[in-house]
Chain A
Amino acid sequence: MTPLRLTASLALTLSLVSHGLHAETAIILNSVDESVSFVDTRSYQETGRAPVCKEPHHLMAMPDDSAVIIACAVSNELVFLDPRTGKELKRIKNISDPYQIGFSPDKTWFVANSLRLDRVDLYRAADFSLAARIPAEKTPSHMAFDKASQFVFITLQDSNEVLAVDLKTRQPAWRHPVGPTPAGIHMTPDDRYLLVGIMGADYVEVIDWRARKTITRIVTARGAHNFLPRGDGRHVFVSNRTINGSISLVDMQDLRVVERYDVPGGPDDMEIRADGKELWATARFARKVQVVNLEQKQLSHSIRVGRSPHGVSFINHAPRQ
């Protein structure tokens, strides 16, 4: 560790300690400000902010919640933060242009989509060594996996398709046409359907991926964008990312919308509290994190953070199912 890096780490650590971080801290990623905000989940106040890397896009918790990983698109690296304290644990360099990231369910593969460079990279999850670099025109965005970890499914935002990559052969397997500007993608708990947020329209497209056939559309609202399971194995939240946006709750068995909450400011990434009472969403266009009280079914708090918030995580979250 260089003296400069050591000083930086110490400064960051001291800053976090002085801001009183604890287990009830939410970590928010501010893409344009290139920083992370720390928000006290009890007082709903931003308690600190720290620079992180160049153009961070998306964060995810490690499958075992041992760290929060931040994908730094322009600085070609992953930054690992302690999910409780926000303290930097390590950096892995030479991860080329990571935009969206994910682990296969069997934890064999770490996948990084490069939206800007039309490419999907497969890394060995054990040591983050590159295994394959797969062309994926155009603009590979979000990803989902099947339970057997045979495929990773990727939305291609500008070619209006879903791409399936076979993780065993490390080759593209097939493409399936979908609606305009597909964004988020989510596998139903029964491993049967892929749900695709059609951002260029107002619906979620439901694909029987084994038959490679679209079976229905679930109308949510304009800008259908991203998914987060409620944790009950049946429902999933869908963010509808427009300036006067909303979040829909979709029943994955009946394939219909059961609730909708007004969430202005371009709701994008989401996180849900373990007790299921609060849903947090980053509002990309409002520099805010919006908190929805799921019992009262309405917005309860708006918390000012940095520019273009693009990811929220806390340790005390509901199961990812």
Chain B
Amino acid sequence: MNAFLTDLFISAQGWLFDRLVQPVLFALGLAGYVEMGFEGIEFVLMGILELGIAYTALRPLEAFWPAERWRNRRAVRVDVMYTLLNRLGIIPLAVFTLLAPAFMALDGWLRFHNVIPRQLEDWLPGLDTHPLASFLIYLLILDFAEYWRHRLSHTLGGWWALHGIHHSQRQMSFWTDSRNHLLDDLIAGIWFAGLSLLIGVPPGHFIGLLVTLRLVENLSHTNTRLGFGRFGDYLIVGPRYHRWHHAIDLPDGEAYRHGCNFAILLPIWDVLFGTLHLGAKLPATGIHEDSPEAMAARDDFWGQQKLGLILMWRALAPRRRRSGAT
């Protein structure tokens, strides 16, 4: 069965490569990108596969065991669009195209000055031949970094202006995971890929790490009453846990001024840094918009992109605006 599925995957990859990608690359004189194109198809196919798994496993939970029942799912449509852009590789490709030259230039400059950045395996050499241990350690490090990226996106005003788009969804579903302002995606991409390069995440692990985190994020956004129990909720982030992160009304207390439950995969980070909150009820999700344009943008892709930039500008330049007004 496994061999059959692998063959099927390779055949699909080969067919897409032969019919779509390779002819275009050759026609454009970009034969040097042939290998990258082939691996890019694998990335896209993994995204589709991952989406299929998420839909098959999570949609029934939303249908039969929802946290909230909705009259219709119209508000979800825009999140589906974000998800397709993300999983079909369009946003990752844009992030890669923007980031790769800068990373290469920096790495090249360091090498010419005889600096070879140290990697995890330089301290733990046995990891070279223990891929599973290496995978788990890198997952732990990246998840820790993701906790802080996420927490900062709630704490820094300019960043929250962008990240608020993700939180503006009042019908949160497993599709909501990818609902992010494009600039927020770019920043997240720099953060994740930059750290991965810095600590030397093996390229062979990269897709696996990304898929693991994305599947958990799909699950945690699912509109379902599912929780992992008294102890399980402290082990891995689930729908009940993450629903409190999206609560329209935050819990009381200074510790939760910018939000709670920032962890992506492991709740231990919220426990350690005092940002954990697990209430008994299942809260409503969303944010309290303070303008008609913000409310109008709730279900509008381009409206959200525009709104995010405007709000970020206002957040980053309050002093200038005030001094300009006087």
Contact = CB atoms under 8 A, between A and B. Distances in A.
Interface of A: 2-5, 7-9, 11-12, 32-34, 50-55, 74-76, 91, 93-94, 96-97, 114, 116-119, 133, 135, 139, 157-158, 180-181, 199-200, 222-223, 241-244, 265-266, 284-287, 304, 307-308
B202 A54 contact: yes
21 contacts: A3-B126, A4-B126, A32-B204, A33-B204, A51-B131, A54-B202, A75-B119, A75-B200, A116-B104, A119-B111, A133-B111, A135-B112, A180-B31, A181-B31, A200-B29, A266-B38, A285-B13, A285-B14, A285-B17, A286-B14, A287-B6
B108 interface: yes
Given A97-B111, A117-B108, A54 B129 contact: no
A87 to B, nearest CB: 12
A93 B117 CA distance: 12
B198 to A, nearest CB: 12
B32 A181 contact: yes
A199 B25 CA distance: 11
A63 B69 CA distance: 71
Contacts of A2: 125-126
Given A135-B112, A242-B22, 20 more contacts: A4-B130, A7-B126, A8-B128, A8-B129, A9-B129, A51-B128, A52-B128, A52-B129, A75-B128, A75-B202, A76-B116, A97-B111, A114-B111, A119-B108, A133-B111, A200-B29, A243-B14, A266-B38, A285-B38, A287-B10
A223 B126 contact: no
B35 interface: yes
A243 B18 contact: yes
Nearest to A200: B31
Contacts of A32: 39, 203-204
A225 B111 CA distance: 28
A272 B173 CA distance: 56
Nearest to A287: B10
A94 B3 CA distance: 38
Contacts of B119: 54, 75-76
B116 A284 contact: no
Contacts of A158: 32
A198 B34 CA distance: 13
A2 B130 CA distance: 14
Given A119-B111, A284-B38, A51 B129 contact: yes
B96 interface: no
Interface string B102-135: 0010011001100010010110111111110000
Contacts of A33: 204
What interface size band does chain B fall in? 35 or more
B26 interface: yes
4 closest A-B pairs by CB:
A4-B126, A200-B31, A181-B31, A8-B129
A54 B119 CA distance: 11
Nearest to A157: B32
A118 B125 CA distance: 28
Contact of B125 (A4, A55, A181): A4
Given A53-B128, A75-B121, A284 B35 contact: yes
B220 to A, nearest CB: 29
Contacts of B124: 4
Given A11-B129, A180-B31, A285-B17, A54 B200 contact: yes
A286 B31 contact: no
Contacts of B108: 117-119
Interface in B205-244: none
Contacts of B34: 199, 223, 241
A116 B119 CA distance: 18
Nearest to B129: A8
Contacts of B130: 4, 8, 51
A222 B124 CA distance: 44
Contacts of A307: 204
A76 B202 CA distance: 12
Nearest to A56: B204
A50 to B, nearest CB: 7
Contacts of A244: 18
A117 B202 contact: no
A34 B32 CA distance: 21
A287 B3 CA distance: 12
Given A54-B203, A117-B107, A286 B29 contact: no
Given A97-B111, A285-B38, A8 B126 contact: yes
A269 B203 CA distance: 21
Contact of A222 (B26, B111, B125, B200): B26
B10 A286 contact: yes
A5 B112 CA distance: 30
A55 B204 contact: yes
Given A53-B128, A158-B32, A34 B204 contact: yes
A34 B204 CA distance: 7
A280 to B, nearest CB: 19
A308 to B, nearest CB: 8
A7 B204 CA distance: 23
Interface string B37-51: 011000000000000
